[in-house]
Amino acid sequence: MLKLVSYPLTLLYLICFGLTLTIFHPIQWFCLKVLGYHAHKQSVSLLNWWLMRCTHLIGTRYTFKNPHDIPTDKPLIITTNHQSMYDIPPIIWYMRKHHPKFVSKKELGKGIPSVSFNLRHGGSVLIDRKDAKQALEQIAVLGQYIETHNRSAVIFPEGTRSRDGHPKPFKPMGLKTLLQNAPSALVVPISINNSWKLLRYGKFPMGLGAHLHFQVHAPIPNTGKHEEIIARTEEAIKKGIKTL
C-alpha cells in the first residue's frame, strides 16, 4: 500500500525537483559571471536547501548532528560513507560555511541543470573512474585548491554507493592523495544513515518517510601518517553507521 501511495507523491516530488534545478541554473550563472565566487557559493547553498525541502513531499526528514567547533580558517577533508545522491544536499547546506567541493564522477559534469554547472565551475573536480591516473591528478588539484583557499573537499572513499546501507571497504588512494596535497587540512568523518531508503524501490517510485541521519565525528589532524589517519577515519565512520 505504501508503495502505491509513493507513485503520485514521487511524481510531484520529481516535478518540484526539476523545477528547482531549472530555476537555479540561470541564478547560478548570473551570480558567478556577474557577482563572483561568493554570490555563486550562496546560490549553491540555497539551491541545496530547496532540494532538501522538495524531499519533504515524500516525507523525508533530516537530522544533522555536528557537536564540534570546526574551524573555518583551515581546509577540511570531509570524508563520508555513500548511500545515495541524497547524501549531498545536506552536506552542502549544513557544512556551507566550509565551502564544500566534491570529488565527482565525470558523467555528472554535463546534462544536469544546476548540478553540472556547479561541478564544472564551483571548485569541484570531475574524475574518470576508469582512468586512475587522471582521477588522482584531479584529486591532487582539489587538495591544492582547498589548501590554498581554506575550503573543504568532500570525498566518498567507498567509490560507489551502498544500496542497502551496509558500508563498503575504503579505496584509500583518493583520500591519501588529498592528505598529501592538503597538509594543513583536518579530516572530518561523517556517518550517513538511511539515505539509501529513498531509493529502496529504485529510482521510481521513491521510498517514503525516510529519516536521514548525519553524524559529524571529531576532526582528525593531518599528522602526515596517512595510513593511520585513513584507518581512524574509516573506523569512526563505520561505528556511526546503523544498517537495520
CA pair distance 198, 210, nearest whole angstrom = 6
CB count in 10 Å sphere of residue 171: 13
Residues 134-159 as b or e (16 or more Cβ within 10 Å = b):
ebbebbbebbebbbeebbbbbbbbbe
CA pair distance 235, 111, nearest whole angstrom = 36
pTM (2 decimals)?
0.95
For 105, the 3-state DSSP assignment is: strand
CA pair distance 189, 238, nearest whole angstrom = 10
Q: Which three cell numbers stand for residue 99?
A: 565551502
For 40, the 3-state DSSP assignment is: helix
Walk along the chain (244 residues) and give the pLDDT tens digit of each residue: 778 889 999 999 999 999 999 999 999 999 999 999 999 999 999 999 999 999 999 999 999 999 999 999 999 999 999 999 999 999 999 999 999 999 999 999 999 999 999 999 999 999 998 999 999 999 999 999 999 999 999 999 997 788 888 888 999 999 999 999 999 999 999 999 999 999 999 889 999 999 999 999 999 999 999 999 999 999 999 999 986 5
Domain 2-239's class?
alpha beta
205: preceding bond cis by omega (within 30 degrees): yes
Q: Which three cell numbers stand for residue 54?
A: 522538495
